[in-house]
Homo-oligomer: A and B are copies of this chain.
Amino acid sequence: MSKGLVIVISAPSGGGKGTILKKLFESDDNLTLSVSATTRAPRPGEENGVQYYFVTKEEFSEMLEKGEILEHAEFCDNYYGTPKAPVVELTEKGKDVVLEIEVKGGAQIKKLIPDCVSIFITPVSLEVLEKRLRNRGTETEDAILKRLATAKVELKEAHNYDYIVVNDKLEDAVEDVKSILRAEKLRYIRNKENLDSSLGI
């Protein structure tokens, strides 16, 4: 059995990442979403190990020191990070693990796990992104402008990613990601041992 893929997926907010991931998970039983660790308190209904691993700040710091966190970020005075152990365990079982993280985390993962597959999902253009954010109708003008400014900064990190999926039509973007995962599994370097033994080479 081949090891599973570590898949990093990033997108500026409004990029449509959530919907694409939903479709992917519906159609691929072998995909697993990595569960982050956080120091924020659980909200009603949230369960440890489902939405997040809930840990104290001391526990998080200790995990960081021991190298047990693959990437992390601070947000509103709390830490959020990707614990290494479940990723290792799942990929060794052959599961493909999706890390849905922002661009700084993505760059950290690529350094630690060079054979991860990193995918950046972008809108067709900044104009389209702005239109999408406005069409949601849920945010203030200020919030929209902040999101756009962040998106501009995040788009500049696209060059750190292996693949760029332009989310123009949802079905096409989903097929794009599926093709990337299928193709990556066919790379010689990921199959060397299996092939060498089955083909007697």
Query: A residues engaging B (CB < 8 A)?
Result: 120, 122, 124-126, 152, 155-156, 158-159, 161-166, 175-176, 178-180, 182-184, 186-188, 191-192, 195, 198-201
B124 pairs with A188, CB closer than 8 A: no
Given contacts A158-B199, A199-B126, whether A188 and B176 have CB atoms under 8 Å apart is: no
Contacts of A179 in B (CB 8 A): 178-180, 182-183, 186
Number of copies: 2
* Minimum-distance CB pairs A-B, first 9: A183-B183, A179-B182, A179-B179, A180-B183, A163-B186, A179-B183, A156-B201, A155-B201, A155-B199
12 contacts between A and B (CB under 8 A): A122-B199, A125-B198, A125-B199, A152-B201, A158-B195, A159-B188, A163-B183, A164-B187, A178-B179, A179-B183, A179-B186, A183-B183
Given contacts A125-B198, A199-B158, whether A163 and B182 have CB atoms under 8 Å apart is: no
Shortest distance between the CB of A32 and any CB in chain B (Å): 21
Shortest distance between the CB of A36 and any CB in chain B (Å): 25
A162 pairs with B175, CB closer than 8 A: no
Contacts of A183 in B (CB 8 A): 163, 176, 179-180, 182-184
Chain B residue nearest to A165 (CB atoms) is B186
